[in-house]
């Protein structure tokens, strides 16, 4: 748990998909790129997080994902600072998701 940000594993994320809002904070090119994205995830690039979540329910559970875990940790901090109480970063990001042979979607994003 770097810098106090809770982390969840790829296995936990896969097992609990559908129980939380999954937010991918990579850029569009990455989301549509070679690593793909997790089905059901919402693209919300890191630089847009604070402005984009103003109307979101602060009580909903959020899991944040990026390429390797760095940006998702930063995004989780931004979300916590904006009143979200149930936020975690997925450890290892999409690199770890792909290493674990979890399914991905390629192509167009789902926008939140």
**Full set of structural domains in the chain with CATH:** 2-99 (3.40.250.10)
Closest CA to 65 of 80, 45, 86: 45
Cβ atoms of 108 and 32 within 8 Å: the answer is: yes
Residue-level pLDDT at 51: 96
pLDDT at 105: 74
Tens digit of pLDDT at every position of the chain (112 positions): 456 889 999 999 999 999 999 999 999 999 999 999 999 999 999 999 999 999 999 999 999 999 999 999 999 999 999 999 999 999 999 999 999 876 677 766 555 5
The answer to whether the beta carbons of residues 79 and 64 sit under 8 Å apart is: yes
CB 7 within 8 A of CB 90: yes
Question: Would you state the pLDDT for residue 107?
Answer: 66
């Amino acid at each position: 748990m770097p810098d106090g940000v809770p982390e969840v594993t790829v296995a936990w994320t896969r097992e609990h998909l559908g129980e939380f809002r999954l937010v991918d904070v990579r850029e569009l090119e990455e989301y549509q790129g070679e690593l793909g994205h997790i089905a059901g995830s919402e693209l919300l690039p890191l630089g847009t997080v604070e402005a984009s979540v103003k109307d979101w329910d602060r009580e909903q559970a959020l899991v944040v994902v990026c390429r390797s875990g760095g940006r998702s940790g930063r995004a989780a901090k931004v979300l916590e600072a904006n009143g979200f109480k149930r936020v975690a970063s997925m450890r290892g990001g999409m690199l770890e998701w792909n290493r674990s042979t979890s399914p991905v979607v390629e192509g167009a994003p789902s926008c939140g």
